[in-house]
Amino acid sequence: MAVELRAVLDDGTGSIRPELEPFAEGLARMRNPRAGISWMARPHVNAMLHRLADPATAITHETLDGMPPWRSVAYLRDLLMLHGVLPSVDRHLMLFERWLRQVLDRIDDSEHRRVVERFALWHVQRRLRQFADRGPVTEKQTQQARAEVRHAIGFLAWLNSRGRALGTCRQADVDAWYGGAYTARGLTHAFLRWATHAKLAGRLHIPHQDTRSPSPISQRQRLDLIRRLITDDAIELPTRVAALLMLLYAQPLTRILRLTTGDVLGTDAKPSIRLGDPPSPVPEPVAGLLRTHLGNQLNLTTATNRNANWLFPGRRGGQPLTSDALQRQLRLHQIPALTGRAAAIRHLVLQAPAPVVARMLGYTHDQTARLAAEAGSPWSRYGPETGPDPAPQNDPEPGLHDS
């Protein structure tokens, strides 16, 4: 491994470029060096590393932005940030910014490009940066951001096909755009509201339809899923543990994946997990599965997460498992994330006062109070505890906030 690293990171003097030494040391400590050698041998990875080893190349985020392919660049960027070679930035925000530049370059109509760029920079990207100020931007948030930009581009092209521009858009055009495809085009709302506020379009009424999430699964279905997750060894253990945290404690997947091993307390005797204040006890046999998971975590043999403290380590440097990867596993095993989580919080607010549930699970009092009232909880009139709400989570998942 050391020989391969010296060869690929040689700065022309027979030694590794000094700025890349922390990166090389991190790779050299891999528990599975063959995987690292195989990765460096890939032609495009080898080319990227040779370029970074050249003293004439600035080792910056901007340099990486100009390299293809983007997935390999993102992986390399995470490693360089993990080992302190590059300053840390929000990876999802950076990937969105790179995607946006490419999308704008593909818009042929100069006026459309100008409008979409204004919308994307001053509304969509600005919102993502506000998210980044509070915590890591999530995949869900960037997925919605990309969809809003795509809908803006699609709407302007559709208007043009009708012989109209944004400034001459009529209410009949808006109604026709949404007609028969409201759900698919619902994210156009953001662009139309922005365009009206920016006086790029006249006053327009944006149609509204109830798109609330489907009803929660029944309590019996929830308990059946919990039993299945406890006993079904055909499902990967990380998926089982994450799904149980969702079904027992009504946690969004994005928050489950931000948990660290330090959030699991008292693993030897009666474990608990820090979701709010106080930590929530973990009952057997779920506690046994959690202990087994902690002793057999995946993705710790590569350079990316050798010393990671994530409860669910991912494959990218210093990053937890992605919500997309977990959702794919849940769909594969027919475990409903949204309606399962909704069933869990509904059951919990029927069993205890909403303010108590809020503080233990990291919800706000308003969220649990509303859900308690909707569920007909006997505790729905229980007064809130003194003290501030828990800090709001950067939770982009729909359903519990919008239902």
Same-domain pairing of 33 and 67: yes
Q: What is the pTM of this model?
A: 0.68
| pLDDT given at position 269 | 75
DSSP-derived pairing of the beta strands 280-281 and 264-265: unpaired
Helix 365-375 × helix 337-351 angle, to 10°: 80
Tokens of 55: 């003293």
Q: In angstroms, rounded to a whole number, what is the distance separating the alpha carbons of residues 52 and 316? A: 19
Q: In angstroms, rounded to a whole number, what is the distance separating the alpha carbons of residues 361 and 347? A: 13
Residue pLDDT tens, the chain, 403 long: 889 999 999 999 999 999 999 999 988 888 788 888 999 999 999 999 999 999 999 999 999 988 989 889 988 998 999 899 999 999 899 999 999 999 999 999 999 999 999 999 999 999 999 999 988 898 889 999 999 999 999 999 999 999 999 999 999 999 999 987 888 888 999 999 999 999 999 999 988 765 555 688 999 999 999 999 999 999 999 999 999 999 999 999 989 999 999 999 986 778 999 999 899 999 999 999 999 999 887 655 555 555 678 999 887 777 888 888 999 999 999 999 989 998 999 899 888 888 888 889 988 888 788 777 777 766 555 555 544 455 445 544 433 333 2
Same-domain pairing of 236 and 292: yes
Same-domain pairing of 182 and 230: no
Q: In angstroms, rounded to a whole number, what is the distance separating the alpha carbons of residues 32 and 298? A: 13
Final residue of a domain: which of 56, 89, 122?
Answer: 89
| φ/ψ of residue 49, rounded to 5 | -65, -40
286 belongs to a structural domain? yes
Local structure of 310: helix, strand or coil? strand
Which residue blocks in 186-283 are alpha helix, DSSP H? 188-197, 219-231, 237-249, 253-256
380 belongs to a structural domain? no
Tokens of 254: 């994005």
Final residue of a domain: which of 35, 61, 89?
Answer: 89
Same-domain pairing of 12 and 71: yes
| pLDDT given at position 104 | 97
| pLDDT given at position 157 | 97
Q: What is the DSSP letter of 374?
A: H
Same-domain pairing of 174 and 128: yes
| pLDDT given at position 364 | 83
Half-sphere CA count of 84, side-chain side, radius 13 A: 6
Strand arrangement, sheet containing 272-273: 264-265, 272-273, 280-281
271 belongs to a structural domain? yes
Same-domain pairing of 59 and 114: no
Query: What distance, in Å, lies between the first and last C-alpha atoms of the chain?
Result: 54
| pLDDT given at position 168 | 96
Q: Kindly list the distances between the CA atom of residue 47 and the CA atoms of 7, 20, 38, 41, in Å, as whole numbers in the listed order.
A: 12, 15, 14, 9
352 belongs to a structural domain? no
Paired with 272 in beta bridges are 265, 281
Please count the other Cβ atoms lying within 10 Å of the Cβ belonging to residue 141. 21
User: Which residues, at least 6 apart from 128, have a Cβ–Cβ distance to it below 8 Å?
Assistant: 92, 93, 96, 137, 141, 142, 145
- Cβ atoms of 204 and 174 within 8 Å: the answer is yes
Same-domain pairing of 10 and 35: yes
| Number of domain units in the chain | 3
Final residue of a domain: which of 280, 314, 335?
Answer: 335
Of 400, 402, 397, nearest in space to 140 by CA: 397
Q: In angstroms, rounded to a whole number, what is the distance separating the alpha carbons of residues 15 and 23? A: 14
Q: Could you tell me the residue range of the domain that residue 138 belongs to?
A: 106-197
32 belongs to a structural domain? yes
Same-domain pairing of 226 and 331: yes
365 belongs to a structural domain? no
